[in-house]
Chains A and B, each alone.
Chain A
Amino acid sequence: MRKYVIRRVFFLFMVIWTAASINFILPHLTGRDPVKEMMGQRIASQGLKQEDAMILINQYHSMLGLDKPLVQQYFTYIGNCLRLNFGYSIPNYPRTVMNMIISRGRLSLPFLAVAIFIAFVGGVLLGAFMGWNKCPHWLNNLLVPPMLAFASVPQFLVALILIYFVAFRWRLAPMGGAFPRTMVEDWSSVKFLLGYAKHAVLPILTVVLVEASGWALSMRAMMVTVEGEDYATFAEARGLKSGRIFFRYLVRNALLPSLTGLALRLGFIITGAAVAENYFNYNGIGQTLGAAIGNFDYFLLYGIVIIMVMSIALATFVMDLIYPLLDPRITYRAQRG
């Protein structure tokens, strides 16, 4: 068991280190100086004076150690990453990147967590029922085609449709934003929480429609496989109650591959939701990312990417640890060497 954990931890660090290194190498490959470019933008658009710009550029260079040899820069950079110090968001100076990530991230995290949970549990149960041999055929024929369509498209597409029909046409939900414009962000206030929840409905629905469809379809397929297994036949031959067979034999065994799938899919869900946020005008990490791209806010952009990679790698790591608890065969094999 311990060897397994150690291997996963090592893998976790490898992933983060690789992402950070790519982060470091890429801009240096193009020979662009992000600081100079940003200053150039500021000169052009905000009338920043040339002399002031030069002072700022030099300040940045020494602060980031850009005047030192490349290898040293690399280690400073990695060190900074580990301390979660990503510098300043230049368009939003003097706010630091980390500060912006946290303030925006805490808007995205609650709805994402809820959405993924609902999508997974709902999708798996629905799919299990659809795959059950006691499920009426017409239900399958009715549900599968739309589910297939939803599962194949990117989240922002569904977001567009939802916004257009539900928010704009039918006026059942707010058009955008993370919470009502009239409110101030205050997590201890019930009114705020309700407002947040109301604005989270469509984003959550987007994630759920896309992901639950996917889970349901794959769970349904797994159920068919599991139903053909010897243990399912023997369970019926023993006169077990159909509810018990459904949950303890079929769902329980079909669930395992779906869980692995969840771990693999997590990155895709989160990045998809990030893109969709831009369409919801949702002031979370996704829209911040979009804005950073638009402004070429170099530090913010790279900071967000690293943080997202870290979170996803961490979440995957946690799932890897949970999985052996649910499948007794895995731990055993690991113990055996």
Chain B
Amino acid sequence: MKGFWDYVKRNPSFGIGLMILIGLLLFSGAGRLFVDKKLAYEQTASLNVPPGKAHPFGTDSLGRDLLAIMIYGTGMTLQIGAIAGGIGLGVGIVLGFVAGYYGGLFDTIVTSVIDVYMTVPSFLVLILIATTFSHVTLGVTEMGLIVAFVSWAGSARSIRAQVLTMRERPFVMMAKLSGMGSFEIVMKELVPNLLPFLVMSLSQAVYGGIMSSLGLEALGIGSRRQPTMGMTLFYVNYYSAFLLGLWWWILEPVAVIALTLTSLVLISMGLDEIANPRRRRKV
């Protein structure tokens, strides 16, 4: 445990990112205890009220209390990111390890698929997928699943690259010589050594997932009723909030999104330093 704190001290970006993320989670988690979920949906309050005593964060043109939206919406956006990132990483781990370690035809197929996948802008693919299913009402989980369709490629590629490097290392050779089966080697030797890298991939996958979901929601593709951050901004545009001068409606989601994304980037950068020790700045 002490090692963890030492690391945080040496690596301020990781520490700051983690603190911001924990702060957001607390805000969303603890806030639920005080603010009713119903307030985050339409027509529960008067329209376009600036921040004041009754509504500390103001209300929007749909009659929703913005504090409620921030509290529940942050959680939802993070949830989408978690689902997309989790699934993406999971698939990426399986494909990356199998392709990287076993190689052969499977590897060639997987790599080619990934290369093409990553050249076609995933966002456009998402638009196609999402609009095709637009007759189905999209909730938070569904958004997460849709985004997961493209989030696996990046993780798969980078994990495969790491596995390829590690495969040639002496300790793997030793394990082979001592008669360990391939699966055993992967689970007992490779995964533990790659743990920091995998955690970093997770934070990157979550970041990517949230970015994609924001892009979709910004165009209006998403759960129209749920107060996710992206949808909130969509309505900002739809109702021309800036023409009406409703600054609180614009700035609050922007601030929350910026904090969320920046914290994830900081965490990824910080973890990158563990995962790639040669990039450590202060020895």
In order of increasing CB-CB distance, the 7 nearest A-B pairs are A267-B121, A271-B123, A152-B265, A152-B261, A305-B124, A168-B242, A26-B132
| B178 CB–A CB distance under 8 Å | no
Interface of B is mostly: helix
The 8 Å CB contact of A271, one of B121, B128, B247, B258, is B121
| Chain A, range 260-316, C-beta contacts under 8 Å to B | 264, 267-268, 270-272, 275, 278-279, 289-290, 293-294, 296, 301-302, 305, 308-309, 312-313, 316
Give the complex CA separation of A296 and B133 in angstroms: 11
**A154 CA to B209 CA, complexed, in Å:** 12
- Contact partner of A309 (CB less than 8 A), chosen from B120, B250, B265, B266, is B120
B153 close to A (CB within 8 Å) = no
Knowing A30-B132, A156-B218, A160-B233, say if A293 contacts B127 (CB, 8 Å): yes
Task: List 28 A-B residue pairs with CB atoms under 8 Å apart, sorted by A's residue number.
Answer: A11-B115, A11-B119, A14-B112, A15-B119, A22-B120, A26-B132, A29-B132, A152-B258, A153-B262, A154-B214, A161-B254, A168-B242, A175-B242, A268-B123, A271-B123, A275-B218, A279-B218, A293-B127, A293-B219, A293-B220, A296-B134, A301-B128, A305-B124, A305-B127, A309-B120, A309-B121, A312-B121, A316-B119
84-128 of chain B: CB within 8 A of chain A: 112, 115-116, 118-121, 123-125, 127-128
B250: A residues at CB distance < 8 A: 160-161, 164
Q: Which residues of the partner chain B approach A30 to less than 8 Å between Cβ atoms?
A: 132-133
With a CB–CB cut-off of 8 A, which chain B residues contact A14? 112, 116
Whether, in the assembled complex, B131 has its beta carbon less than 8 Å from a beta carbon of chain A, the answer is: yes
Q: Are B220 and A290 in contact (CB under 8 A)?
A: yes
Query: Given the known A-B contacts A148-B265, A271-B123, are A18 and B254 also in contact in the complex, defined by CB atoms under 8 Å?
Result: no
Is B62 an interface residue when CB atoms closer than 8 A count as contact? no
Known contacts A19-B120, A148-B266; A154 and B220 CB within 8 A of each other: no
Besides A14-B116, A22-B125, A164-B251, 8 more A-B contacts (Cβ < 8 Å) are A22-B128, A29-B132, A154-B218, A160-B242, A164-B247, A308-B124, A309-B124, A312-B119
A22 partner residues in chain B, CB cutoff 8 A: 120, 125, 128
Q: CB within 8 A of A289: which of B219, B245, B247?
A: B219
Interface residues of B in 225-258 (CB under 8 A from A): 233, 236-237, 242-243, 245, 247, 250-251, 254, 257-258
B220 & A272 in contact (Cβ 8 Å cutoff): no
Q: Does B129 contact A (CB under 8 A)?
A: yes
Count chain B residues whose beta carbon lies closer than 8 angstroms to a beta carbon of A: 43
B215: interface (CB < 8 Å): yes
Q: Interface on A for B, CB 8 Å cutoff? A: 11, 14-15, 18-19, 22-23, 26-27, 29-30, 32, 148-149, 151-154, 156-157, 160-161, 163-164, 167-168, 175, 264, 267-268, 270-272, 275, 278-279, 289-290, 293-294, 296, 301-302, 305, 308-309, 312-313, 316
Say what secondary structure dominates the interface of chain A: helix
Nearest-CB distance from B235 to chain A (Å)?
A: 12
Q: Complex: how many Å from CA A36 to CA B119?
A: 33
Residue B135, interface by CB 8 Å:
yes
Note all chain B residues with C-beta closer than 8 A to A301: 127-128, 131
Chain A residues with CB under 8 Å of B127's CB are: 289, 293, 301, 305
Q: Which residues of B contact A268 (CB under 8 A)?
A: 121, 123
B221 touches A (CB below 8 Å): yes
Q: Is the CB of B258 within 8 A of A157?
A: yes
A30 to chain B, nearest CB (A): 5
Give bound CA distance, A267 to B122, whole Å: 9
Tell me the complex Cα distance, A168–B119, Å: 37
How many whole Å from A266's CB to the nearest CB in chain B? 9
CB proximity of A67 to chain B, nearest CB, Å: 22
Which of A18, A270, A296 sits near B131, CB closer than 8 Å?
A296
Enumerate chain B residues within 8 angstroms of A18, measured Cβ to Cβ: 116, 120
> Using an 8 Å CB-CB cutoff, how does the interface string of B206-218 with A read, 1 for contact, 0 for none?
0100010011001
- Is B236 a contact partner of A160 (Cβ separation < 8 A)? yes
Contact A271 B124, CB 8 Å, known A154-B218, A168-B242:
yes
A312 contacts across to B, CB distance below 8 A? 119-121
- In the bound complex, CA of A17 to CA of B140 (Å): 32
The answer to whether B132 and A148 touch across the interface, beta carbons within 8 angstroms, is no
Cα–Cα, bound, A296→B132 (Å): 9
Chain A residues within an 8 Å CB radius of B118: 264
Whether A156 contacts B120 in the complex (CB less than 8 A), given A23-B128, A271-B215, comes out as: no
| Interfacial chain A residues near B214, Cβ < 8 Å | 154, 157
Q: Mark B132-149, 1 if CB is under 8 A from A, else 0.
A: 111100000000000000
Distance from B261 Cβ to chain A, minimum over Cβ atoms (Å): 4
Cα distance A149–B124 when bound, in Å? 25
With A15-B116, A148-B262, A153-B261 as contacts: A270 and B254 at CB distance below 8 Å: no
Q: A289-B219, A301-B131 are in contact. Are A164 and B124 (CB under 8 A)?
A: no
